[in-house]
Chain A
């Protein structure tokens, strides 16, 4: 499978994604799934400027990514699919039924959220969405960088930020 990681990260394309995961996994493309970014040439240019020339970036809406997912999965190159929030990943999972594993890479502080890990803050609705993904058979874990230990969902949701 060409898509090595399905990641939720509210920073979208940034250092951990491009370098932290990109180099050890030898990633050659990123699929950024975000309805707003997919509608903005300026946002797309901003994110393209952040990646090396040998890494391609595809911008898709949730609907577009669902239609294109099998093509990304069949790509000979290694890739990473990225959403900025749990809701977008959930909608993509619902639309495709073809995602087995989700990486929670970074969801940062906002009012109403409780800190679960240093880099994961969740509100009750988001926690329920992650439980829902697990209930549909997906393996859900939190891991910011490859060298870190993947934290299973049960442990994540009982965490206190330490």
Chain B
């Protein structure tokens, strides 16, 4: 049985890079499957994500950018499959937290991960122009 719980979808090698980092830190990249929108039409992205969801049984889609075509495709899928959770603007902290809570198997793990991701954005140092 597949361990996959979530798709990570984004531009270029976003998913590949994120999952590489998840594997290095937690060893749990097996929970995720990556999707890139590179060189695909909007319909192509949606079709690819539908195929990945169907074959993996994943119920969560993490995407990189609210305006991105992966997010658009995810929301189109969600319209028909309301049990799918979509999280946009994902960062590494989000995925790491999800990796540790995915076995909870419900939306609370997704919400917890999103909270962690938001909290991880911190600015230190720097200076403002005169």
Contact = CB atoms under 8 A, between A and B. Distances in A.
A119 B44 CA distance: 13
For the residues of A in contact with B, the DSSP-based class is loop
A19 to B, nearest CB: 7
A17 B39 contact: no
Given A11-B41, A11-B42, A108-B44, A46 B76 contact: yes
A46 B44 contact: no
Interface string A4-26: 00000011111101110000000
Interface residues of A, number: 22
Given A108-B40, A108-B44, A13 B75 contact: no
A71 interface: no
B68 A15 contact: yes
A14 B41 contact: no
A51 B67 contact: yes
B94 interface: no
B39 A50 contact: no
Given A12-B42, A108-B41, A108-B44, A17 B67 contact: yes
Interface of A: 10-15, 17-19, 42, 46-47, 49-51, 106-110, 118-119
Interface of B: 11, 39-42, 44-45, 65-69, 71-72, 75-76, 79
30 contacts: A11-B45, A11-B72, A13-B67, A13-B72, A14-B67, A14-B68, A15-B11, A15-B65, A15-B68, A15-B69, A19-B65, A19-B67, A46-B72, A46-B76, A49-B75, A50-B66, A50-B67, A50-B68, A50-B71, A50-B72, A51-B67, A106-B41, A107-B41, A108-B39, A108-B40, A109-B39, A109-B40, A109-B41, A110-B41, A119-B39
